[in-house]
Amino acid sequence: MKKFTILSVLCLFPVLAFGNGFFLYEVSPSSIAQGGATLAAGSEPAAVFVNPASITRLEGFNFSLNLNMYLSDSEFTSETSNKKTTADTGFFPTPSFFATYKAHKWVSVGLGTYAVYGLGISWPEKWEGYHLVKSSELQSYSIQPSIALGPFYGFSIGAGFDIVLGAVNVQQGIPFGDGVYAKMKLGGTTVGYGNNVGIFYEPAKWIRAGVHYRSQVLMKLDDGKVDFDDVPAPFAATMKDQKVKTGLILPQVVGLGVRITPIEHLEAELDVNQIYWSSYKSLTFEFEDASLNQVQEKKWEDAPQIRFGAQYTFRKWDFRAGLIYDITSIPDETLDPMLPDNDRIDYCIGAGYSFGKFRLDISYMFVNILERTAKADKNPFPGTYDAAVHSFALGFTGSL
């Protein structure tokens, strides 16, 4: 019975809900301020991530260094006890760097380093859901070299190769009754590989279009480790530290965007992304002790994002605003405090100031994660989740 309890609380890559699963689309303050609706922009080095085909619009050598900072707040109100629990305020800085170079009039190359899967959550010691999660954190970082070809005026294609580095750490309590808990820690590092391709088309100065595809990435954890602490003496022999193998397929992503210039100095864009989270149907755990092996059902679903953004240029200033509607991928049956996700509405604003060949950018995004209730007839841990995230970003961009 205790072996089942140990396995029933394990989960890989559990992170704070941030809209569509744990996919972070925000990589630069300029893009964030426009709601991430920049598939057809092609106006900064971060286009390496958003749509590599659009980097053909950038002349010479360009670079950008960005820092995005997330502040998160989460609450859970139990349907059983009606007790409200507040998670620790989370602070998560995520840096990124991008560079592009136009090597030929119709050949451009680029490099990006960024984080698009991550964040975490931490609940109080021995709270009501301690058997599900105490804390969890995912750290990931991607390296993406890219190339774009634009042999025809206004049209280009691009491709990139993704190297994704990941680390996961989970802490949970294992109950033994009368308020006695053992502590379980799961951790490990892994690396995965993927690719992405894009198309960019600018038939006229007032309209641009972009399409981008990002492939699945298999994050296979072969050297994971589970440690147990404070185990009561009668169970110490059956709860030994050991290795674990598991894996997760990060989803493929398809995006389409159209950008227009309705009047001079004003640009507006509408993007639609589809995140194919149906690849995350279950998790399989393989332990050194084969009797602990288990398959956990997740049943995540494909989910869309709708992004709108605009930018107005006045002299040396760029003023930006955006709005995002993001649909959750997690069904009621598998919602839990490791990932208290729901639909969200994000409000974005920011500005940029240019001086010579350089620009400073700043942005703020308020992520309103809509309140969500998991009912007892569908979920083993019923209650109401309420969460919000504040995102602040700074960036420095230059051209040489």
pLDDT tens-digit profile of 156-190? 999 999 999 988 888 888 888 888 898 988 888 99
3-state secondary structure the chain: CHHHHHHHCCCCCCCCCCCCCCECCCCCHHHHHCCCCCCCCCCCCCHHHHCHHHHHHCCCEEEEEEEEEEEEEEEEEECCCCCEEECCCEEEEEEEEEEEEEEECCEEEEEEEECCECEEEECCCCCCCCCCCCEEEEEEEEEEEEEEEEEECCEEEEEEEEEEEEEEEEEEEEECCCCCEEEEEEEEEEEEEEEEEEEEEEEECCEEEEEEEECCEEEEEEEEEEEEECCCHHHCCCCCCEEEEEEEEECCEEEEEEEEEEECCEEEEEEEEEECHHHCCEEEEEECCHHHCEEEECCCCCEEEEEEEEEEEECCEEEEEEEEEECCCCCHHHCCCCCCCCCEEEEEEEEEEEECCEEEEEEEEEEEEEEEEECCCCCCCCEEEEEEEEEEEEEEEEEC
Is the predicted pLDDT of residue 3 greater than 50, yes or no?
A: no
Mean pLDDT, the chain, integer: 89
Which pLDDT does position 152 carry in this prediction? Answer: 84
Mean pLDDT across 335-339: 86
Which pLDDT does position 91 carry in this prediction? Answer: 80
Is the predicted pLDDT of residue 71 greater than 60, yes or no?
A: yes
Mean pLDDT across 215-220: 92
In this prediction, residue 119 has a pLDDT band, given cuts at 50, 70 and 90, of: low
Which pLDDT does position 22 carry in this prediction? Answer: 58
Determine what percent of the chain is predicted with pLDDT higher than 70: 94
pLDDT tens-digit profile of 144-155? 999 999 978 899
Q: Which comes out higher in pLDDT, residue 41 or 8?
A: 41
Determine what percent of the chain is predicted with pLDDT higher than 90: 61
Is the predicted pLDDT of residue 6 greater than 50, yes or no?
A: no
pLDDT tens-digit profile of 276-301? 999 888 878 888 888 778 887 888 89
Which pLDDT does position 297 carry in this prediction? Answer: 83
Q: Which comes out higher in pLDDT, residue 232 or 197?
A: 197
Is the predicted pLDDT of residue 254 greater than 70, yes or no?
A: yes
Q: Which comes out higher in pLDDT, residue 283 or 59?
A: 59
Domains of the chain: 2-399 (2.40.160.60)
Which pLDDT does position 75 carry in this prediction? Answer: 94
